Amino acid sequence: MKVSLRVMLPCTVSEAWAALHDPAVFTAVSKPFLRFRPLNPEEFPKAWSTGSTYVVEGLALGFIPLGHQEINPVTTESDTEKTFSDNGRGISGALGLVSSFQHRMTLRPSGVGPTELQDELEFDAGVLSPLFWLGFRMFWWWRHRVMKKLVSSWRSKAGLSWDERYTRKKWSGNPNASLVAAVSGLTPGTALDLGCGEGADALWLAEQGFEVTALDASPLALARGEEHRRAQVTRDHQPRIIRWIAQDVITEPLPESPTGFDLITASFFHVPATERKRVWKKMVAALARGGTLVIIGHAIEEATSGVHGPPQHLRFDHAELRGAIPKSWSSVKVEQRTREQRGSDGAVHTVTDTVLVAQR
């Protein structure tokens, strides 16, 4: 028989993946109905290791013996999903009645912000299978309920920080004027938007006909972007194709496109130099032949002007941007553009952006 449930987790795939490998999470989501005591080895590892075998004793409500069970983790990964499988078996007691046990937990981007966990169990307990199915089904529901409560403890400091910022503040909802000027006139195709936030730029690109993949470390911001997309589609019935993915673009590989993305953009991605250069290198590699790369930042000249923005050491100049682009590319243009921005005081200020537009 089979139990199959889905749950949306407000974290990145990588954060959930690390949690699935953690025996402490396995223990936490099982309480109070089940407790597992390690037998061989006598202590749980810091992380489950694929190809290893772990023997545990199951205790209902923490003290009623259910018998012994093997845990045999096997993991597989692809660009779009990660699967953690347990091909274990019951050895003795009530657990020994389950002759076949295959548990698969598959993580993938939901496309609307959170990470989707597809949690499936196939098992065979003979004539007792319907009874076991009821117990497993209730236990699976409980596990997912606990997982959603634990998610915040899995998050990275950066992800939590951005979620907190989006909890406190909502952005204007308008696309960046420098991006609009840089992209207007391009033939729509596939687009990748890094650090998309609440998605104003991604929504504008989708309105122009681009099929957008929008990345951000904050599932909260992405969920808000999807809300805006649905509201706009409902209002004007114009399709907007956007795939929202929670991802730390600094530490994780970018999503793949068969021939590369036609447009890749990153606006105001102000992080330390070593990190931004790593991200720029990924952007260069992901761009299709003939594609356009757009990088926008707060001008370094304004760092001491009193206008609100990132500190000087997180800004970049023309030379650094040009140095990120291969000399073989057909065109590279770096310039400064001015635009109007409403400050936290409600007043409108004229600010300057540094804008790179390069074609492969």
Domains of the chain (ranges, CATH numbers):
2-155 (3.30.530.20), 161-359 (3.40.50.150)
Q: Residue 65 pLDDT > 90, yes or no?
A: yes
* Torsion sign across C-alpha atoms 268, 274, 278, 280: positive
Tell which residue, 232, 217, 121, 258, has the closest CA to residue 175.
Answer: 232
Contact 117, 143 (CB under 8 A): no
Please write the tens of the pLDDT for every residue from 242-275. Answer: 999 999 999 999 998 888 999 999 999 999 999 9
Of the pLDDT bands very low, low, confident and very high (cuts 50, 70, 90), residue 346 is: low
Contact 90, 81 (CB under 8 A): no
Distance, CA of 85 to chain centre: 21
- Summarize the confidence of residues 158-169 as an average pLDDT: 85
Please write the tens of the pLDDT for every residue from 89-136. Answer: 889 999 989 888 899 999 999 999 999 999 999 999 999 999 999 999
Of the pLDDT bands very low, low, confident and very high (cuts 50, 70, 90), residue 344 is: low
Contact 246, 13 (CB under 8 A): yes
Residues 197 and 190: their CA atoms lie apart, in Å, by 19
Contact 212, 243 (CB under 8 A): yes
| Residue pointed to by tokens 């959603």 | 148
Q: Which helix (H) or strand (E) holds 238?
A: none
Lowest mean pLDDT among 33-42, 209-218, 312-321: 312-321
The per-residue pLDDT for 304 is 63
Q: Residue 283 pLDDT > 70, yes or no?
A: yes
- Summarize the confidence of residues 316-322 as an average pLDDT: 91
Residues 210 and 33: their CA atoms lie apart, in Å, by 49
Share of the chain above pLDDT 90, in %: 74
Of the pLDDT bands very low, low, confident and very high (cuts 50, 70, 90), residue 67 is: very high
Tell which residue, 160, 165, 216, 176, has the closest CA to residue 352.
Answer: 176
Inter-CA distances, 36 with 16, 60, 78, 161, 296, Å? 21, 9, 31, 34, 52
Residues 195 and 280: their CA atoms lie apart, in Å, by 12
Q: Which amino acid is at 161?
A: S
Contact 198, 171 (CB under 8 A): yes
Of the pLDDT bands very low, low, confident and very high (cuts 50, 70, 90), residue 54 is: very high
Q: How many Cα atoms are found within 13 Å in the side-chain-facing hemisphere of 63? A: 0
The per-residue pLDDT for 307 is 63
> 155 - beta bridge partners?
none
Q: Report the predicted TM-score, pTM, of the whole model to 2 decimal places.
A: 0.89
Lowest mean pLDDT among 14-23, 109-118, 173-182, 199-208: 173-182
Inter-CA distances, 310 with 178, 243, 269, 307, Å? 18, 28, 10, 10
